[in-house]
Amino acid sequence: MRIVLGVTGSIAAYKACALVRLFVKAGHDVHVVMTAHAQEFVTPLTFQTLSRNKVETEMFAPAQEWNPKHISLATAADTVVVAPATANIIAKMANGIADDVLSSLLLATKARIFVAPAMNTGMWENPATQRNIATLKAQGVRFVAPQTGELACATTGPGRMAEVEDIFAAIAE
């Protein structure tokens, strides 16, 4: 199975490395797409090494082939996973905003989509975020619910990204 993993700007981005390892170990072809903010937490080289594939980071990077990567990956993907998924990418998805390589790919794909949110409790509980999640669920996007626990901002509550084994299991079903 070809899996496209979208990684966004959250401290939980480091967990996405372990998720890539699980996918590759299970025999999946994994392609990682990173937002600019994700690259502040983990480097593309880390994901390239773990996935054994080039990592996409820019919408208008010089093309090595005629087909734009955000379209070719969107078309070729069996499954798209966004982990961690910030409130920002969830809002973009719910409102059809395509202003970077990941949000454009998400708008173009017909593959099944899984989202593993990771954000501060206030952001998670915000009515706008909950409305965006409801919109995406109505469109068939599957969510792997965040856990309640200690967050990077030194608070405790819902918003901690699900464990990678739980995300992997949800996709395997």
pLDDT at residue 155, rounded to an integer: 83
**Lateral strand order in the sheet of 79-85:** 29-34, 2-7, 79-85, 112-117, 142-143
Out of 59, 145, 153, 170, the active site residue is: 153
Contact 83, 8 (CB under 8 A): no
Write down all domains in the chain, each with its CATH number in brackets.
2-172 (3.40.50.1950)
pLDDT at residue 65, rounded to an integer: 61
Would you write out the chain's pLDDT as a tens digit for each of its 173 residues? 999 999 999 999 999 999 999 999 999 999 999 999 999 999 999 999 999 999 999 877 666 665 666 677 887 889 999 999 999 999 999 999 999 999 999 999 999 999 999 999 999 999 999 999 999 999 999 999 999 988 788 888 899 999 999 999 999 98
- 17 given a catalytic annotation: no
pLDDT at residue 64, rounded to an integer: 64
